[in-house]
Structures are given as C-alpha cells and as structure tokens.
Amino acid sequence: MFTKLREIFLVNFLSYFTLSPYSLSKSMSFLISGKDYFVYKEKQTTPVPGNKCSLEKNCPPDSFAVRIKSGAANVVGPTICFDGQNVMSHVMNNVGPGFNIVVVNRETGTVDKFGYLNSKSGRSEDIINYLKKIEPGRIVLLATFDDVTPKLTDEIRDVLESMGSTLIKTVKSKDNWVFAGTPGAAEKSPFEKMTVNDLEKNMYKDWPEVVEISGCFPKNS
C-alpha cells in the first residue's frame, strides 16, 4: 500500500517542480475547518504545461478544461485543475480531509473561491450553509480526500444532488468521489465518478483506488 502511495506522491511532487512559477489571483478563497474561516487574500494557482489540464486535446472556445482527481487513501491529497491552472493539490499544501472544492464564475472563468469542507473537525451546519450560499451561474468542482461521511448529512447530499450529482446519495465511508456541476442544474452532470470502498477489491488495503474525471465543461448551460 505505502509503496504505491509513495509513487503517487512522487509523481505529484516532481510534476509540481517542472511547472511554471505561481501565478497570483486576487480572488478570495475560503477554508472551512470547524468554526474557523481561514481567508487567503491572494490565491496561488499553478499553470499546467501543454494542453490545458493535460487533456489529450485542447477544449473548444465554448468550454473550460477540467481535471479532478480524488485523494489516495488518507495520505496523498486530491488535485483540481481548471482551465489550465492547478488550483488545489497535495503539493500546493491547500487540500484537506473532506470535500475539496473550487467555485468558478461560469461567465468569466475566474475562480471565486476554493478550500476544503472539513469532514473531521468541521461542522455539518457550516458545510451545508457554505454549499447553499453558492450562487447560480457558478461551476462547482469537488474531490474527496480521506473519509467524507462523518459530516455528510442527508441535507448535504440533497444540495449536491441539486447541482447535478447522481452518485452522492450512494457515497459511503472511505469511498472516493469526484464531481463537477452547477447550482440548480437542469440536467444531471456527466462529470462524476466514484470508487467504492470494498475490502476485497481495494487498492490500498482499507481504501479504494484514486478516481479521476477530465474533459471540457461547457461555458453555457
């Protein structure tokens, strides 16, 4: 297990240092942990070389490149890339246990905020309030890390389902889940995958394999 996880960490670590220097955005980002809100006045993102978010081909002008990868067990954190920028990753040290989230303005393509909704020391009330306050016209990118279920209530599942998820109602302890959707989605999102925690099939003993989605998310609904 740990040999495989070490390989995943090294891939993330080495790729980080082959990228261009940070680009800075003035967008605000939020990190929810228990009752505290940690606010970064400047957000760091890392450009991804080649095709945006390392897709096989560049997306057409009416869409955004997206790649979302879940965490590996409770050791290596997730990665969320949007429009050619790594917004969150283990190496960038801005991920945490729970739902790692990036919220993007769908019209402008700018990142409004990002952070993680803490499934260990956070409160379910804070998580649901955060999700409910996401405005229409936003793209929501989500990746799990560690076990998200300790704070995952039916109400939280309902809100994520309203964003276009078809799998969130079935997420169980230690499952991996990645998703991209929009508040008040008229249709179910095709940008969603999960791997199920199954002791007979798990890649990392008590944890399933990493799950990943990538593609071109439309700019218009």
**pLDDT per residue as tens digits for the range 22-57:** 233 333 334 444 333 333 334 556 666 689 999 999
pLDDT of residue 195: 97
Find the helix or strand (DSSP H, E) in which 11 lies.
helix 2-16
Q: Which residue type is seen at 194?
A: M
Which of 89, 101, 96 has its CA nearest to residue 45?
89
Question: Which structure tokens are listed for 153?
Answer: 């209530």
Q: In the chain, what is the straight-line distance between the N-terminal and C-terminal CA atoms, in Å? A: 41
Sign of CA dihedral 124, 127, 129, 131: negative
Average of per-residue pLDDT across 191-211? 95
pLDDT in tens, 131-153: 999 999 999 999 999 999 999 99
